[in-house]
A and B are shown apart, each in its own frame.
Chain A
Amino acid sequence: MENLLEKLLEAVELGKVDKKSPYPPQLKDQDGAYELAGKALEQGYKPDDILEKALIPAMANVGNRFSRKEIYVPQMLMSAKAMGGAMLHLKPFFQSGETKRKGTFIIGTVTGDLHDIGKNLVSMMVEGGGWEVIDLGVDVGPEKFIKAIEEKPHAVIGLSALLTTTMENMRKIVAEIKAKYADAKILVGGAPVTQDYCNKIGADFYSPDPQGAVNYLNQLVSI
């Protein structure tokens, strides 16, 4: 019976969204993540197990392979899409509270910056890590972050910037969030961002890749 979860894990890792999806070719005409998650529930698997034994490890494998440059952005996006297909079946359990997520992650690209790829990749990987994700979009200023935190006071915050000219806006956002929520943990990332810059502006964590962010978040809740 564990076979079904293993199949689901494989489908997500390889980006097999549903039965009619042509990718990857070696899984042609086989069930995708959408069908497998549905069948798993029908056969009595707990939503928690589907999440923890299939979806989360699958996305962790994807994140680690991406960090090692064994796979590329389009493959990561396909895996995220496959995970999304499986998640459709789990949504009702999240909403009823029967299945709990590890926490809430609020993410946005900072004021003046319209780049969304990095932010979207982190967002998908964190959701795949078992977190609820609130994506505020691009060009997000301090007020919008603070409003979102008011609704989810224990959320972890992620800031993305792709330009040397917009990363400075991270400093202001970090300062304004910390002034109101001194304990809030804030992650920063994006092409021009460095560990040194993260330290300078008083943010809590810098990761050069999405999996680093997931690992940091998981470590926060495991303490």
Chain B
Amino acid sequence: MKTVLRGKTKEVIINTDGPVIIIGESINPTRRKKLVSTLQAGDFDYVLELAKNQLDAMADMLDVNVGFPGVDDVKLLPETVKQLQSHFDIPLCLDSPNPKAIEAALKVIEGKCIINSVNGEEKSMNALLPIIKEYGAAVIGLTMDDGGITNDPYKRLAIAEKILKRAVKLGIKEEDVIIDPLAMAVSADPQACIVTLETIRLVHEKLGLNITQGASNISFGLPDREILNIAHMILSIRNGVTCPIANPEKITAAIRAADLILGRDDFAMRFIEYSQRTINV
């Protein structure tokens, strides 16, 4: 199954058969206070720098989250989108729980983006899915709902299925629904990552959809975080993750290696391309 996204002109295809598409995570104010202060001052240099660094590290798309207390994201999300698109021709992933901010950004965005995210709660689906249909975007469905977060992979699969059915019923194409299996810190629960990996496998096998995940926090509270994140990413890719939201500056090399090992990189061209790019920097 293929999810097709577009920037102004550039097309990015997320294919359930790979190779992996990287959605850069760094435009996000958590632990990056400078992003809030610069954006509030109408200064877009820092957000453009974050974008450039991620694209240099081979991000295919960029997640854009400007939500922070005191920030008017209905105004700021579309402004940031315009700034990013005037400098870089890549598809974006609009990250906000605020339907008004999402709609305001959809009005100005060029191409076809991903909305991050809806979850299985009635309130969330009702608020966002109609807008997503209206503007023809793709959507990430988080596998949690009114019952909270479950540790049973089959229940997470059922939530994914619920979101898919609801989206399709509203006229959103099946291939435009991307599932996020939820990734939790393995320091607090040694079973946390295997629940995620099982959910990925089930969604891949039973629904055949593209799968994302924001997984940089699975390593919270542990040493050698980068190694843990890489191990989790590679196992996730093996089970069916096709478009992780991650830090390309830390993870692209491992992702390129995984694609090559899984036979999705003819003549190792993508692996070599990345390797030579880093040497040149």
Interface residues, chain A, with chain B CB atoms under 8 Å away:
72-74, 77, 114, 117, 120, 138-139, 163-165, 167-168, 171, 191-192, 194, 197
In the complex the two chains form, is A165's CB within 8 Å of B97's CB? yes
Find the residue from B188, B190, B220, B222 having the highest chain A CB count within 10 A. B188
In the complex the two chains form, is A114's CB within 8 Å of B149's CB? yes
**In the bound complex, what is the Cα–Cα distance between A50 and B16 (angstroms)?**
59
Partner of B187 from A74, A168, A191, A197 at Cβ < 8 Å? A74
Stretch at the interface among B27-35, B249-257, B264-272: B27-35
**In the bound complex, what is the Cα–Cα distance between A167 and B188 (angstroms)?**
22
Question: What are the 7 tightest A-B residue pairs by CB atom distance, in nearest-first order?
Answer: A73-B221, A73-B187, A168-B69, A117-B188, A164-B68, A192-B30, A165-B67
Mark out the residues of chain B between 173 and 220 whose CB falls within 8 Å of any chain A CB in the assembled complex.
185, 187-188, 190, 220
Closest to B29 in A: A164
In the complex the two chains form, is A163's CB within 8 Å of B144's CB? no
Closest to B188 in A: A117
Partner of A194 from B33, B97, B148, B149 at Cβ < 8 Å? B33
Given contacts A77-B188, A192-B68, 16 further A-B contacts (CB under 8 A): A72-B187, A73-B185, A73-B221, A74-B190, A114-B148, A117-B187, A117-B220, A120-B188, A164-B29, A164-B67, A165-B67, A191-B31, A192-B29, A192-B30, A194-B33, A197-B69
In the complex, what residues of A have CB within 8 A of residue B148's CB?
Answer: 114, 138-139
Find the residue from B96, B185, B187 having the highest chain A CB count within 10 A. B187
What's the minimum C-beta distance from B233 to chain A, rounded to whole angstroms?
Answer: 20
**In the bound complex, what is the Cα–Cα distance between A114 and B121 (angstroms)?**
14
Interface of chain B: mostly helix, strand, loop or mixed: loop
In the complex, what residues of B have CB within 8 A of residue A120's CB?
Answer: 188
Interface string of B88-114 (1 = CB under 8 A from A): 000000001110000000000000000
Given contacts A72-B223, A74-B222, A114-B149, contact A164 B187 (CB under 8 A): no
Mark out the residues of chain B between 48 and 103 whose CB falls within 8 Å of any chain A CB in the assembled complex.
65, 67-69, 96-98
In the complex the two chains form, is A117's CB within 8 Å of B185's CB? yes
Mark out the residues of chain B between 122 and 169 whose CB falls within 8 Å of any chain A CB in the assembled complex.
144, 148-149
What's the minimum C-beta distance from B93 to chain A, rounded to whole angstroms?
Answer: 16
Interface size on B, residues (CB 8 A): 23
In the complex, what residues of A have CB within 8 A of residue B30's CB?
Answer: 163-164, 191-192
In the complex, what residues of B have CB within 8 A of residue A191's CB?
Answer: 30-31
In the complex, what residues of B have CB within 8 A of residue A73's CB?
Answer: 185, 187-188, 220-222
In the complex the two chains form, is B31's CB within 8 Å of A117's CB? no
In the complex, what residues of A have CB within 8 A of residue B65's CB?
Answer: 164
**In the bound complex, what is the Cα–Cα distance between A77 and B96 (angstroms)?**
33
Partner of B31 from A72, A138, A171, A192 at Cβ < 8 Å? A192
In the complex, what residues of A have CB within 8 A of residue B190's CB?
Answer: 74
22 A-B residue pairings within 8 Å (CB atoms): A72-B187, A72-B222, A72-B223, A73-B185, A73-B187, A73-B221, A73-B222, A74-B190, A74-B222, A77-B187, A117-B220, A164-B65, A164-B67, A165-B67, A165-B96, A165-B97, A165-B98, A167-B69, A192-B31, A192-B68, A194-B33, A197-B69
What's the minimum C-beta distance from A220 to chain B, rounded to whole angstroms?
Answer: 27
Given contacts A114-B149, A191-B31, contact A171 B69 (CB under 8 A): yes
What's the minimum C-beta distance from B34 to chain A, rounded to whole angstroms?
Answer: 12
**In the bound complex, what is the Cα–Cα distance between A169 and B28 (angstroms)?**
19
Find the residue from B30, B98, B190 having the highest chain A CB count within 10 A. B30
**In the bound complex, what is the Cα–Cα distance between A73 and B69 (angstroms)?**
28
In the complex, what residues of B have CB within 8 A of residue A197's CB?
Answer: 69
What's the minimum C-beta distance from A202 to chain B, rounded to whole angstroms?
Answer: 13
**In the bound complex, what is the Cα–Cα distance between A164 and B148 (angstroms)?**
19
In the complex, what residues of A have CB within 8 A of residue B33's CB?
Answer: 194
Closest to A161 in B: B69
**In the bound complex, what is the Cα–Cα distance between A191 and B29 (angstroms)?**
11
**In the bound complex, what is the Cα–Cα distance between A122 and B136 (angstroms)?**
44
Closest to A166 in B: B97
In the complex, what residues of A have CB within 8 A of residue B144's CB?
Answer: 114
In the complex, what residues of A have CB within 8 A of residue B96's CB?
Answer: 165
In the complex, what residues of B have CB within 8 A of residue A194's CB?
Answer: 33
In the complex, what residues of A have CB within 8 A of residue B67's CB?
Answer: 164-165
In the complex, what residues of B have CB within 8 A of residue A77's CB?
Answer: 187-188
In the complex, what residues of A have CB within 8 A of residue B31's CB?
Answer: 191-192
Closest to B28 in A: A164
Find the residue from A74, A114, A165, A171 having the highest chain B CB count within 10 A. A165
In the complex, what residues of B have CB within 8 A of residue A192's CB?
Answer: 29-31, 68
Closest to A138 in B: B148
